[in-house]
Amino acid sequence: MLQTPMNIDTAARMPQVDPDPLIEVDNLATHFFGGAGMVRAVDGVSFTIPRGKTVCVVGESGSGKSITGRSILNQVPRGGRIVSGAIRYRPDPAEPAVDLVGLDPRGREMRAIRGAQIGLISQEPMAALSPVHTIGNQMMEVIRLHLKMGRKEAREHAIETLALVGIPRPADRMESYAFQFSGGMRQRVCIALALACRPKLLIADEPTTALDVTTQANILDLLSSLQAEFGLSVLFVTHDLGVVAEIADEVVVMYLGRVVEAGDVDTIFHAPSHPYTKALLQSVPRMHGEPTERLAIIEGMVPSRFERPQGCSFHPRCKEAVVGLCDRKDPRPVSVGNGHVVSCLLHQGEQS
Ligand SMILES: Nc1ncnc2c1ncn2[C@@H]1O[C@H](COP(=O)(O)OP(=O)(O)OP(=O)(O)O)[C@@H](O)[C@H]1O
């Protein structure tokens, strides 16, 4: 655990509603179709990614965090597809947005965006790196493909990018293979690959989960400094609220494919509204708590991925659920001010 939620610098992070986000995810639905039934991995999700900010997507396993990220890349795993909604991407505020959902996932336009303007780093660097090509060749391939540079210029750009992410002796390491790097250094190489074309958005899917705590802290520091240097937007997928407290500007809390609460990090940690968000926060160890205090656990199991409970999906596990309301009515996300959105029947009296 890197930091408890209590350590957030509240003054530095005032709530803001961005009128001109880089990405606007609007009622996105991504489903999987298989013999066992249909899975609504992402089921009507809306949120924005502001320019130069970090949005953390949190939730338990299976809540749809990764598939939301993959949907933005328009690269949904086999068996799944985006069935509705829009992902409006606006790299240049002076130009109209492009709806990524409307682009052919394998088409020229999407391939020009993916990898060049939207980069991905994931939990397992080995899966992202080729074991049979040198790091230099992999870097140069991406750079030459997207930035149309010649060999010499691409090599210099690759070395410069490896140096930027803290690879020592970058010119020498161009000749190394992935297995010749430690776990932390390998993740730095992945970050270099994702940043090689200086993207607008970095999607980071649990990039530090497999690393030890010190290396994890170093990678988070690196991401923060790169973000400041390049004005990057970051979508950070994680189940670790300590990491969220460390890096998030905004937080999107997901449960069973839906957004249950979203807002700036200060609001989510200090004034959460949704019972699920409160339960998640209560399950995090605090440095200043009584040593004898027991950690709260979220009662019950995440329901089957094939069957959404009737009413509010969280009601079977919710301590605040009201019989006759929460087991009957499906809540909708409601804005409660300053970019704070809550999807809970107990917070939408005005809508009931
Ligand atoms: N390739 C796939 N085929 C079928 N279902 C899938 C596939 N990938 C994901 N799903 C389903 O979609 C839902 C959301 O998965 P997703 O990976 O986005 O969850 P997550 O919140 O990122 O969880 P985790 O933290 O465990 O990665 C889950 O029910 C999952 O089983």
For residue 282, give the H/E element and its range.
helix 275-282
What's residue 117's pLDDT? 95
Yes or no: say if 224 and 166 are a contact pair by the CB < 8 Å rule.
no
Mutate to test the pocket of ligand 1, among 57, 65, 256, 258 (most ligand atoms within 8 A of CB): 65
Given pLDDT bands bounded at 50, 70 and 90, which one contains residue 338?
Answer: confident
Task: Name the residue at shortest CA distance from atom 24 of ligand 1.
Answer: 61
User: Two tokens at 206?
Assistant: 């649990």
- C-alpha 64 – ligand 1 centre gap (Å): 6
Distance CA(265)–CA(115), nearest Å, equals 28
- C-alpha 232 – ligand 1 centre gap (Å): 26
What's residue 249's pLDDT? 96
Q: Tell me the average pLDDT across 127-140.
A: 92
Q: Helices H, strands E: what count in the chain? A: 11, 12
The pTM assigned to this predicted structure is: 0.89
Residue 239 beta carbon below 6 angstroms from any ligand 1 atom: yes
- C-alpha 315 – ligand 1 centre gap (Å): 21
pLDDT exceeds 90 at position 297: no
User: Two tokens at 234?
Assistant: 């970051």
Hey, where are the domains in the chain?
5-128+199-263, 129-196
Residue 63 beta carbon below 6 angstroms from any ligand 1 atom: yes
- C-alpha 317 – ligand 1 centre gap (Å): 20
Helix 135-147 to helix 183-195 angle (10° resolution) is: 20
Residue 66 beta carbon below 6 angstroms from any ligand 1 atom: yes
Q: For 166-209, what is each residue's pLDDT tens digit?
A: 999 999 999 999 999 988 899 999 999 999 999 999 999 998 88
- Which atom number of ligand 1 is nearest to the Cα of residue 34? 4
Q: For 15-63, what is each residue's pLDDT tens digit?
A: 445 678 999 999 999 999 987 789 999 999 999 999 999 999 999 888 9
Task: Name the residue at shortest CA distance from atom 4 of ligand 1.
Answer: 32
Distance CA(269)–CA(263), nearest Å, equals 10
CATH architecture of structural domain 5-128+199-263: 3-Layer(aba) Sandwich (3.40)
What's residue 3's pLDDT? 35
- C-alpha 284 – ligand 1 centre gap (Å): 23
- Could you report the predicted ipTM of this complex, rounded to two decimals? 0.97
